[in-house]
Chain A
Amino acid sequence: MFRNFPSVSALATVALMAACGTAFADQPYPWQIDLQPAASAVAEQVREFNYLISVIIVAISVFVLVLMAYIAWRFNAKRNPVPSKRAHNTVLEVLWTALPVLILVVIAVPSLKLLYVMDRNPAAEMTIKAVGHQWYWSYEYPDHDDFTFDSIMVPDDQLQPGQPRLLAVDNEVVLPIETDVRILVTSDDVIHSWAVPSFGIKTDAVPGRVNETWVRIRREGTYYGQCSELCGVNHGYMPIAVRAVSRQAFDEWTAAAKEKFARADGGGTRVAGRTATTTAR
């Protein structure tokens, strides 16, 4: 399996790029050591903050480890047979208390700014609701006649070329780009977590609570995430897939979706989506 993975994923990446006409891979890629490319302003800020803090922590770690290596070399028993007796240095002790405080302040200011920006957006233009189930997600569009559908992982043996394994679903959530979308997240059984790394979003789906987050997607594409709270046997098999399209394409899609999918309140016709609630595996 390991030997043929580069070819599989290369194929997947190429196919994905072809499919959505973008140069970004909005899913994890091999040997990745960085956050996924940002698809929203919030995710962009998360990335920038990550760079800042990464530089700081690497600098601190390297400083301490090099210092340790120097001490191990310089004060080795062979090189330094007579130990000193010094056990105090007030200046030094104050210094290594005060300096970390300063560094923490440098981190804390942008950190808190980011936290408040990403929290919620009172001026959302539309709302969708993601509901976690064992083990799939369902989505509701309350602003568009409240239609609803289930989003179930495509099993390995039914993958189409270009669909990433364990990430692709039968019905993707479709959202318009350049629109402030409010996302409500809840669950009807155990705790799940709705996560899309490219949007900088991870929000727990807690039964009995409705959590709120938001996104403004910058570019078209298909974005993938995975359930991020242990929710039972098939926790690893309930991915999240969001397809971002132009506003016009979104209107066309909602018009078709109203016909195709049932309404969340049980009214209207029951077709597709709702009846296909067989588990993914």
Chain B
Amino acid sequence: MYIVLSIVSALIGGGMSWIIRLELAEPGIQFIQDPQLYNVMVTAHGLIMVFFVVMPGLIGGFGNWFVPLMIGAPDMAFPRMNNISFWLLAAALCLLVTAGLTGTGPGTGWTFYPPLSNSTFHSGPAVDFGILSLHLAGASSILGAINFITTILNMRAPGMTMHRMPLFVWSMLVTAFLLLLAVPVLAGALTMLLTDRNFGTTFFAPEGGGDPVLWQHLFWFFGHPEVYIMIIPAFGIISQVVSTFSKKPVFGYLGMAYAMVAIGFIGFVVWAHHMYTVGLDVNTRAYFVLATMIIAVPTGIKIFSWLATMWGGSIEFKTPMLFATGFIALFVVGGVTGVVLANAGLDVQLQDTYYVIAHFHYVLSVAAVFALTTGFYYWIGKMSGRQYPETLGKIHFWLTFVGVNVLFFPQHFLGVAGMPRRIPDYPDAFAGWNMISSIGALITALGTLLFLFIVWRTMAAGKAAEPNPWGVGATTLEWSVPSPAPFHTHEELPRVSAQPAE
């Protein structure tokens, strides 16, 4: 269910991004005559991708399905809560679409910065719909997080100690805690914005003693952990897949698990690196520079541990493994540009330019989508009972990998040259790299069409999947049950003695 919702949203959000890229292919206005419509597209693309593609796909979809399987539990702790959580999300998506179609829509960016998002500059109900949509999505996430924490802490099979849990389960546990701590802050901030808009409060309005920068602090206190909420489950999937196809246990298991815990923890104390230009005190900025750079250390541990897992392995490059290696490559490129952006002195040049766009699309958006795709190919046999077509999968990988690099790499250059983000038209000097970037979007679009075809092929005519199609490397519990996995798996609790992840 979650995965279907995620794919449908991906088509909407992706479709918007292609329209954006077409608009930006050449200087001058191409066909979006109203810049407000362009801003609404940018806003909706961001919100849909974050809240309705990556989160439901990675957490709702793969998490709900495979956490219980991997720890030897029959199902999640609270199946009904899970159901509510899904329908809240569906309702939230409907609200967001309503917001986009109401009046002139919310043209605020996904960050909803006031005063632009207040009732003076966005009158009409569009922004209110957007806020309510995020409220519902947030409630859905919190319910999901509680469910995960309960399941993982209480429902492990005998012998499945914390330090024997597969890394994907660890990643979901860390993610659930991040959600539980970060989302309420967003909910609070959204409520304050809502009362500012409708009931005359002035939390973020200077004329009433409020401060627009307060919104940014609250938003990014949620927003930075949010990026780890999206990427840590991806770490988990990649760890499983790399280990399976290298036919080796994960290298440095404990380091990997605690690197995720460390990333999650530090993620809460670096939020203001999104705000280097708002006029923070210089000592404050210096602190955020240092804190942000420290994240590179646990992240480096993860990258090197994946490589060390592959080292000495007997690697089979099936489609999931291709996407996993692609993920690591993209993540490295996006990671080093993150270190660049951490430096407030240089970030002043790059803040709000296409460099930032390139950075977060590499580390987060495309990498997270690669992880989603990896998970899809890895587990589709287990979920549907049918295996995907291997050759088409490989073509899909190469099309997408080339496409996203052509799409996003030139944006680094645009950013360094100073092209601001969120503009529908740009000075003529930026034309060259924008054209190339739009060509990349076209290649990626072809890849996506191919993916839709693959999904259809798999469902309609895929070969029946064996319980374990991957051979000796696949050691986690989900491969010990038939494909597709029955509704209540592990009715009799499996006993775990060997360490599954190590």
Interface of A with B (CB < 8 Å)?
1-2, 5, 8-9, 12, 27-36, 45-46, 49-50, 53-54, 57, 60-61, 64-65, 67-68, 71-72, 75-77, 80-89, 92-93, 96-97, 100-101, 104, 107-108, 111-112, 114-116, 118-120, 134, 164-167, 189-191, 193, 195, 197, 200-204, 206-209, 211-212, 224-237
Contacts and interface: CB of A to CB of B under 8 A. Distances in A.
A35 B415 CA distance: 9
Given A203-B277, A204-B279, A228-B351, A209 B213 contact: yes
B307 interface: yes
Interface string B421-461: 11111111111110100000000000000000000000000
Interface in B332-375: 332-333, 336-337, 339-340, 343-346, 348-349, 351-353
B290 interface: yes
B343 A107 contact: yes
Contacts of B344: 111, 115
Interface residues of B, number: 98
B273 interface: no
A83 B312 CA distance: 6
A224 B418 CA distance: 10
B332 A190 contact: no
Contacts of A167: 427
Contact of A100 (B286, B297, B312, B315): B297
B286 A35 contact: no
A65 B328 CA distance: 9
30 contacts: A1-B27, A1-B28, A5-B431, A31-B432, A35-B416, A35-B418, A46-B348, A54-B340, A57-B336, A61-B333, A68-B307, A71-B310, A72-B315, A72-B317, A75-B312, A75-B314, A76-B315, A76-B317, A104-B294, A115-B345, A165-B428, A166-B427, A190-B113, A195-B418, A202-B348, A204-B279, A208-B211, A230-B39, A235-B422, A237-B35
Contact of B432 (A1, A30, A232): A30
A33 B212 contact: no
A26 to B, nearest CB: 11
Contacts of A202: 277, 348-349, 351-352
B153 interface: no
Contacts of A208: 206-207, 210-212
A112 B282 CA distance: 10
B113 A49 contact: no
A187 to B, nearest CB: 9
Given A2-B27, A57-B339, A166-B425, 20 more contacts: A5-B27, A8-B428, A27-B429, A28-B417, A31-B433, A32-B416, A33-B417, A46-B345, A60-B332, A65-B332, A75-B313, A83-B313, A84-B312, A89-B308, A108-B293, A189-B121, A190-B115, A204-B277, A204-B278, A211-B278
B279 A164 contact: no
Interface in B89-120: 107-109, 113, 115-116, 120
A80 to B, nearest CB: 5
Interface stretch (B4-12, B164-172, B245-253, B475-483): B245-253
A134 B332 CA distance: 39
Interface string B226-268: 0000000000000000000011111111010000000000000
B502 interface: yes
The 3 closest A-B pairs by CB, nearest first: A208-B206, A236-B423, A114-B345
Interface stretch (B51-59, B298-306, B389-397): B298-306
